[in-house]
Amino acid sequence: MPKTIHRALPDRTVFHRGAPVFAGLAAAAAVLLAACGGGGSGEPAEVAGQKAEAAQAGLQIAFAVPLDQAVFDLGASVPVSLALQSGTGALPDGLAVDFSAASGSFIPLAASLLGGEAVTAFTPTAAGRQTLTASVASGTLGGGNAATASRTLYVRPAPAPMEILVPAYFYPSAGSPWDALAAGTQAYPSVSVTAILNPNNGVFTRANPEFTAAARSFVHSGGKLLGYVYTGYGSRSISKVKGNIDKYLSLYGTGLVSGFFIDEMSSAPGRLAYYRQLFDYIKSKGATLRVVGNPGTVPDAAYAAVADTLVTFENRQASFADYDPRATGGWLYQLANSRQNALVHDAANCAAMQASVRAAATARMNSGVIYVTDDTFDPDTQEDNPWDTLPAYWTQLLGTVDAVNRGATLPTC
């Protein structure tokens, strides 16, 4: 029986951004509106009184939008709004609020208070974790008063169209799911479909003619194939893994195999050198060979350098709603969605599948490579194999991904 994809224990990694680089603009009393009588020694008594009271009572400044830890696309214009108040209540319109961030721009950079609210727009120029800071300078209100507030958000690269990666761990006998796999791929040429070829857990000395025939049919239908190899979470002899890779290339050839699926990938920093060696070996065989690593969870951030795509979620559909890259520091938002893969099983029906695909496409999940099946597996007991057939809604899965990519209405279940 083909080997089941296993999950590894997660390692939490926190990603830090650098300090803000925009200097705050000095705010002066001259920014008060002319309607209030101007600034300087000649300002009206009620304005001077407002400033003195606010300076004594203390300023409070708080972001209203964006929401804390919201996720946006790189280059998007992010509305920013914050509220200011003092212990006395009202603040004078025209009060200057300065904004800064590690990477990006604000328009305007210094916003004027109007009705207790300051509004600007932030355009991020780098992916990953960002901290926005707003401040009112000391002395603005005629005293030693000052206030600052910050807001964390995440920025992901602009998303690519979603694609499907199928763990095709079924034997290509007559009438097998390989036929439906090829037919569906041909029916949806706009959807990129990749399947994992898994003859004898990737350990073989000759090409299986039935696998060869199924592989040719699938590739001729527009699909791509990855050769399956397992690594025992970095404990398997790397020479044996390399030998498996060589057999795929020599017996099935690059005309059929366009990359490798590295199963049982560790997520721990201590195993990184093993996977670096394996990644470099595959790339030495062909720079365009795609490497998909499967830790089955979010690994240490350094693993981004040893795989083109990482399986960062592999579990039941019921758990997918809780999947959140922010929980491990948000470093995954530095990666394009095409570099993140979710394998979702136990999605009982078409509606559950569509909910998972929609969720994967959100900025928060950022999973651009997806597979959803109604096949079952118990991660606790390791019983069953969730990849030994195609889901009953295989055609609807293709149609759903196609619709999401086009921004169209999802097909009826």
- pLDDT tens, 149-195? 999 999 999 999 999 999 999 999 988 999 999 999 999 999 999 99
User: What would the pLDDT profile of 273-322 be if each residue is shown by its tens digit?
Assistant: 999 999 999 999 999 999 999 999 999 999 999 999 999 999 999 999 99
10-24, 134-148, 197-211 — which is least confidently predicted? 10-24
Asked whether the beta carbons of 399 and 405 are under 8 A apart, the reply is: no
Percent of the chain with pLDDT over 90: 77
Peptide bond into 391 cis (omega under 30): no
Question: Among 222, 228, 236, 221, which Cα is nearest to 170's?
Answer: 228
CA-based end-to-end distance of the chain: 32
User: What would the pLDDT profile of 350-382 be if each residue is shown by its tens digit?
Assistant: 999 999 999 999 999 999 999 999 999 988 888
32 has a pLDDT exceeding 50: no
Instruction: Using DSSP, state whether 97 is helix, strand or coil.
Output: strand
Specify the DSSP element, H or E, that contains 316.
Answer: strand 309-316
Question: Six-digit token pair at 78?
Answer: 């992010």
Task: For tokens 């001259």, name the residue.
Answer: 30
Mean pLDDT score of the chain, rounded to an integer?
Answer: 86
- Comparing 284 with 140, which gets the higher pLDDT? 284
Query: How, if at all, do strands 147-156 and 70-73 pair?
Result: parallel
Average pLDDT over residues 83-111: 88
- Tell me how far the alpha carbon of residue 97 is from its chain's centroid: 32
CA distances from 366 to 73, 138, 181, 192, 334 (A): 10, 41, 25, 17, 10
Using 50, 70 and 90 to split pLDDT, how confident is the model at 140? low
In this prediction, residue 56 carries a pLDDT of: 41
